[in-house]
Structure 1
Amino acid sequence: MNELEQIEDKYNFTYPKLYRQLYLDGMLDSGGEYGQDWYEKYYAKLAQNPPMLFFGFDFELLKWSRIVEEIQAFKDPDDYRQTKPEFQFVPFGRQKSGDLYVFQFDKQNGEDVPITLIYHDDITAVVLAKNLQDFIFRDLLEDLTNMKYSNTASGDLKVNSANILRTHRKYLKHSQVEKLEEIYGRDVFEYIETTSTGRELPLEGLISHDELKQVLKQEISFDALDNEFEYCNL
């Protein structure tokens, strides 16, 4: 059995078809173990054929051993998070802060397994998409709202954008690919983002946060989108 099948067998679940296809296509391969020399060894080669969300500003694929560790932690009643037993989380990615992107299998609806962000230092989580396809589309778009910090913009923006779309297009809906092609073809522009506290932030990107909300509503809307809930008993 491969790594994916070993985890499925050990914890008695089945990954979504799209995730299994990404694995078979090598899209979950982020090179060797993360460390000080990872960038020097792997970045240039991977950038030419980017694996899943490779240029994501705040997304990093988890290694298989780490996935097992996190599943064990979610199931451990003594873990600091004290995850409520009704939730079935299987992580696949993380943010720099340590927040985890997970498949939420307790909310599976047919082939759709929602993608949820688990905050590591809070008792809440938020639903980001009804399935992996929509999550990939959302993450690709969100990276374009602030190009000052986007990894897509590191180096040649047009080259990186073309590469990421080339390796990801087969996993997205036609309408999602068309929208990404249109946005990637734009020039970077400046705009003002007003925070919830009324503070105005100058940003630059290929899409504003306001337009992003509109596109997400059109392309990936479902009843639980962006719902927050308490997942643990800290």
Structure 2
Amino acid sequence: KMWEEGMLNWMRGFEEPLEKGKSWAADVYPEIKEHPPALLHSGGLDFELLTPAQLLDFKYPELWNVEKHHFIPIGKMAEGNVYAFYQNVKIEGENPVVLIWDDMDETEFYARNFEDFIFRKMLEATYDIDKEELLGFEFMGKVFSHEI
């Protein structure tokens, strides 16, 4: 339902890869900033929700014991770590979100459910704000300069 409402789609009508001369920041972001999807500002280039096409084409790494552990991937980090629902466990009737480390044979419980996952990613994003990145960006109708 969230995908149908555009809450999980960071491209909203644009096809990947973008056509020549277009960029996500200049062309896609202005179209979605008024009604932003979930997790839009939650990790910059380090985090990306998987699209339905990416989910269908997802290749499970050999280290994942998919015979024993049942994962549904939902997002990935730039270095290859994957966030997934873990189907083997239920917490209060819901599947938790786990972080599966790419280069290790380890999985970490990350959030009790998808709602907690969104909340945690948002909290982590606020911790990681770089004041230098705000310089020159428009915020609530005002353009900040180096005089912050």
Determine if contact 1:93/1:102 at 8 Å carries over to the other structure. Answer: yes
Matches within 5 A, 1:75-224: 79-109=61-91, 111-148=93-130, 155-157=137-139
TM-score, structure 1 normalization = 0.49
Q: Runs of 5+ in structure 1 lacking a partner?
A: 1-19, 160-234
- The answer to whether structure 1 residue 49 and structure 2 residue 35 are counterparts is yes
Shift of 1:45: 1.4
* Alignment partners' CA distance in 2, 1:46 and 1:150: 24
Do the aligned partners of residues 108 and 150 (structure 1) sit closer, same or farther apart at CA in structure 2, a change above 3 Å counting? farther
Matched-pair contact (CA < 8 Å) for 1:117–1:127? yes
Q: Does 1:23 align with 2:3?
A: yes
SS for the counterpart of 2:57 is helix
Determine the structure 2 residue equivalent to 1:8. Answer: none
Q: How far apart in 1 are the matches of 2:23 and 2:103?
A: 27
Q: Deviations over 1:160-185 (max 9, x none)?
A: xxxxxxxxxxxxxxxxxxxxxxxxxx
User: SS state of the match for residue 106, structure 1?
Assistant: coil
Q: How does 1:6-17 map to 2 (within 5 A)?
A: none
Q: CA deviation at 1:139?
A: 0.7
What is the aligned-residue identity percentage? 24
Choose which of 60, 63, 77 in structure 1 pairs with 2:51. 63
Pick 1 or 2: higher relative contact order, CA cutoff 8 A, min separation 6. 1
CA pair 148-35 structure 1, distance change in 2 beyond 3 A: farther
How far apart are residue 35 of structure 1 and its match?
A: 3.6
Partner of 2:122, secondary structure, is helix
State the number of aligned residues. 132
Aligned alpha-carbon RMSD (Å): 2.6
The whole-number CA distance in structure 1 between the counterparts of 2:83 and 2:117 is 10
